[in-house]
Amino acid sequence: MIFIIGIFVYLSFNNVLSKLRSIEIIDDVNIALLEMRKAEKNYFLYRDANALKELAKLGEERYEIIQVSKSYVVPILNKSGRKNYDRLLDILKEYLSLANNAIKTKEVPRDFEAKLRTMGQDLTSVSELLLKQERENVSRTINNNVLMLITSLGVILVIQLILWQYFFSLIIQELTVMERMIKMVSEGRFHEVAVKPILPHNEIEIAIKAISDMARKLEKREDDILQAGKLASLGVLISGVAHELGNPLNNISLMAQTYLSVYDMLGDEEKKNFMGDIYNQTERIRKIVENLLDFSRQKKQELQECDLKEIVRVSLSLVANHLKLAKVKQHVAIPENLPPVQVDASQIEQVLVNLFINAIQAMPEGGDLDVNGSYDPQSANLILEIRDTGIGIQKDYLPNIFDPFFTTKSTKGTGLGLSVSYGIIRQHHGDISVESEEGQGTRFIIKLPAMKK
Amino acid sequence: MDQTQEENMSPDKLRIMVLDDEPIVCKRLKPALEKLGYEVDTFTQSPEAMHQIQQTSYDIIITDLKMKEIDGMQFLTEAKKRHPGTEVIVITGFATMETAKQSFQKGVFDFIAKPFKLSEIQEVVNRAAAKIRGPAA
C-alpha cells in the first residue's frame, strides 16, 4: 500500500517537474516574444525598413525556437495548452508572413500597422494565457498530490484500524474460548473441554491446547477420585451393612440350629416353614449385597432419564440401617409429578449417600433428616433440599467444605465425599450449596436441570 | 406379645426377658431357654419392653444393642437403674470392641456377637443364673 502510494507520489512529482520545465520554456518563449514586440515598437517608432527587417529576423528566430521546443513541450501540455501552442505558432507564422510580405513588396498596406499590432497583442496574450494555464496546472497538480497524500494517509490509518480491530477481536475471541474452557475445568466439566484436539497455530492456541490436554488428564484423574470417594463412603456404608447382614445371618443360623436339633419331631409342614424362613433371610442378604455391589461398581457416566424421587428412595435404602442405628428419623417430601432429570443415577445416589452419611454423623444423639424436593419453573431446575438437625458446620469451615481432602472428621474422614459430590453435581450442570448454623443443623441444596422435552 | 404374667410361678424359675427387633430371634430363643427351665418373655418393640420393666422385674435380660426407637444401651441402663440385681446379656450384630467395652462399663454380664450359637447363649444364661443363685444358696 505504502509502496503504491510512493510510486504514485514519485510519478506525480516527476510530472510536476517536467511541467515546471515546460513552464520555463514557455516563459522563455514569452520573454522572446516580448523582445520581438519591443522590435515591433521600434518599427512603429521609426517606421523604417531596417526596423522591420530586425523585427522579421527576431520573429524568424522566435518561430524557430517555438518550433524546436514544440516536440519538447507538447507532450507535457494538456489539450487546450496544445491548441494554444499551435495557435501561437499559427499567429506567429501569419505575423511573419505579414512582415515579410511588407519587406518584399516594400510597400506597407494601409491597415498593416493595426494588423501587426493586433497580431502582436494576440501573440503575447496567447503565450501569457499558456503560461498562466500551465502555472495553474502545476499548482493544481501539487494541490491534488497533497490532497491525495492526505487522503491515502487517512485511508491507511482506517485500514490499519480495521485490521487492528480484526486481529484484536480474533485474540479476544480466542481468549474468550480459553476463559470458557477454564471455567468448564473449574466446574469439573472436563469432558466438554477435552473433546476436540486442535492443531495450534499461535501462542493462544498452544495455551488452549494445553488447557484441553490438562482437562483430559484431569478427567482421567477425576474418575479415580470419584472411585476413591465412592470407596470412602463405601467404607462407612460397610459397617452399617455388616450389622444389617448380621441379623439375617443370625436368623438363618438360629433356624438351622433349631431345625437340626428338633428335626425328628417336625412335621412336613413345619419343615417347609423352616426352609421358607431360611430362604426369606437369604433373600434379605442378597438384596443388601446387591445394593452395595451396585453402589461400589465403577461405571462410565451414563446419562438416563431418571425420577429424582426414585434416586432418593434408593439412596435412603442404602443408609437405612445407619438411620436406624443413629435414631435419625427421615422425612421425605417429594411431589409425585416432578419433571424427570437426565442424570447418571448411580452418581447422584453417591452424592446423596455422602450427604446422608454426613447428616447422620452430624447427629450422634439422633435427630431429623428432611429431604424435600421441588421444581422451580423459572430456572427449570429441580431442587433437592437435605436438612439435618445436627451439630452444624463451623462458619470458617464453610468456604472449604467442597475442597478435596478437607475434612472436619480428622482421621475418620477422607475429605473426598463432598468434593466428589460437588464434582458430580457440576458435571450434571447442576449446583450444590450449603448453609449451616452451629448447633442448629446443616442444609444442602442441590439444583439439577430438568430434562428438556 | 407372648409375655406371660403368672402370679403363682415357681420360686425356682428365673425370669428372662428377650428383647430383639428380629422376630426370629425371639421365636428361637424362647423355646431354647424354656427348655432349660427358665420363664421367658419376648419383645420385638423396645418401648413395650421399657413399659414392661416399669411394672415387673426380670432376673436376666437379653437385649439387642441397636434397635429402632429406644436403643439397647439406653434400655439396659434403665433396667439396671430400676433393678440393680438384674443381669443383662447383650447380643448384637454390631460387634465392635468399643460397644462391647461400653456395655461392660454399664455392668453388663456378658456380650454375645451375632450370629451366635444357641448353646453359646444357653451357656451364658446358665452362668448368669448361677451368679444370681450363688450368694443366695
| Residue A324 contacts B, CB cutoff 8 Å | yes
Type of residue numbered A348 = I
Question: Rounded distance, CA A442 to CA A373, Å?
Answer: 16
| Residue A252 contacts B, CB cutoff 8 Å | yes
A230 and A152, same structural domain?
no
| Residue B114 contacts A, CB cutoff 8 Å | yes
In a domain, A216, yes or no: no
A-chain CB neighbours of B116 within 8 Å are 250, 253
Put simply, the answer to whether A243 touches B93 (Cβ < 8 Å) is yes
Write down the pLDDT at residue B4.
Answer: 45
Type of residue numbered A200 = P
In a domain, A181, yes or no: no
Q: Does residue B104 surpass a pLDDT of 80? A: no
Question: Rounded distance, CA A8 to CA A149, Å?
Answer: 9
A146 and A68, same structural domain?
yes
Question: Rounded distance, CA A162 to CA A208, Å?
Answer: 26
- Cell readout for A52 is 522591420
Write down the pLDDT at residue A331.
Answer: 93
B-chain CB neighbours of A326 within 8 Å are none
Put simply, the answer to whether B116 touches A250 (Cβ < 8 Å) is yes
| Residue B35 contacts A, CB cutoff 8 Å | no
Range of the domain at A125: 2-157
Write down the pLDDT at residue B2.
Answer: 45
Write down the pLDDT at residue A117.
Answer: 82
A-chain CB neighbours of B69 within 8 Å are 327
Distance from CA of B63 to the nearest CA of A (A): 13
A233 and A140, same structural domain?
no
Write down the pLDDT at residue A158.
Answer: 94
Cα separations in angstroms, A441 against A33, A34, A332, A394, A421: 117, 117, 17, 11, 19
Nearest-by-Cβ selection for A254 from B28, B93, B113: B28
A230 and A124, same structural domain?
no
Whether B112 contacts A243, CB under 8 Å: no
| Residue B7 contacts A, CB cutoff 8 Å | no
Residue of B nearest to A365 (CA): B71
Taking alpha carbons only, the member of A385, A321, A316 closest to residue A356 is A316
Q: Does residue B121 surpass a pLDDT of 50? A: yes
SS3 A49: helix
Write down the pLDDT at residue B8.
Answer: 43
Put simply, the answer to whether A246 touches B71 (Cβ < 8 Å) is no
Residues in chain A where the model's pLDDT stays below 50: none
A290 and A148, same structural domain?
no
Residue B4: CA atoms inside 13 Å, Cβ hemisphere, count? 11
Q: Which of A98, A124, A157 is the last residue of a domain?
A: A157
Residue of B nearest to A277 (CA): B24
Nearest-by-Cβ selection for A249 from B69, B115, B118: B115
Write down the pLDDT at residue A413.
Answer: 63
Write down the pLDDT at residue A311.
Answer: 92
Q: In what order do the strands lie in the sheet with A328-333?
A: A328-333, A367-376, A381-388, A441-449, A431-437
| Residue A257 contacts B, CB cutoff 8 Å | yes
B50-86 per-position pLDDT tens digit: 999 999 999 999 998 877 778 788 898 999 999 999 9
| Residue B92 contacts A, CB cutoff 8 Å | yes
Using only C-alpha atoms, what is the Rg of chain B? 14
A-chain CB neighbours of B31 within 8 Å are 258
* Pairs of CB atoms within 8 A across A/B: 62
Whether B116 contacts B91, CB under 8 Å: yes
In a domain, A199, yes or no: no
Distance from CA of B135 to the nearest CA of A (A): 33
Write down the pLDDT at residue A195.
Answer: 59
SS3 A269: helix
A389 and A264, same structural domain?
yes
Put simply, the answer to whether B24 touches A254 (Cβ < 8 Å) is yes
Taking alpha carbons only, the member of A390, A387, A382 closest to residue A409 is A390
Q: Which of A157, A192, A209 is the last residue of a domain?
A: A157
Q: Between A403 and B98, where is the model more confident?
A: A403
Query: Cα A151 to the chain's mean position, in Å?
Result: 33
Put simply, the answer to whether B93 touches A245 (Cβ < 8 Å) is yes
| Residue A246 contacts B, CB cutoff 8 Å | yes
Write down the pLDDT at residue B136.
Answer: 53
A231 and A149, same structural domain?
no
Q: Between A112 and B99, where is the model more confident?
A: A112
- Tell me A450's DSSP state: B
Put simply, the answer to whether B94 touches A324 (Cβ < 8 Å) is no
Question: Rounded distance, CA B8 to CA B27, Å?
Answer: 24
Question: Rounded distance, CA A178 to CA A184, Å?
Answer: 10
A245 and A150, same structural domain?
no
Peptide bond into B115 cis (omega under 30): yes
Nearest-by-Cβ selection for A246 from B68, B114, B118: B114
Give me the sign of the Cα torsion angle A193, A194, A200, A203: positive
Q: Which of A157, A189, A212 is the last residue of a domain?
A: A157
A370 and A260, same structural domain?
yes
Q: Between A81 and B37, where is the model more confident?
A: B37
| Residue A332 contacts B, CB cutoff 8 Å | no
| Residue B97 contacts A, CB cutoff 8 Å | no
Mean pLDDT of B8-12: 55
Q: Does residue B137 surpass a pLDDT of 60? A: no
Q: Name the architecture of domain B15-136.
A: 3-Layer(aba) Sandwich (3.40)
Residue of B nearest to A323 (CA): B68
CATH number of the domain within which A435 lies: 3.30.565.10
B-chain CB neighbours of A327 within 8 Å are 68-69, 71
Percent of chain B with pLDDT over 90: 55
SS3 A212: helix
Q: Pick the residue of A236, A245, A251 with the most B CBs within 10 A to test the interface with B by mutation.
A: A251
Write down the pLDDT at residue A381.
Answer: 93
| Residue A243 contacts B, CB cutoff 8 Å | yes
B-chain CB neighbours of A252 within 8 Å are 115
Domain tally, chain A: 2
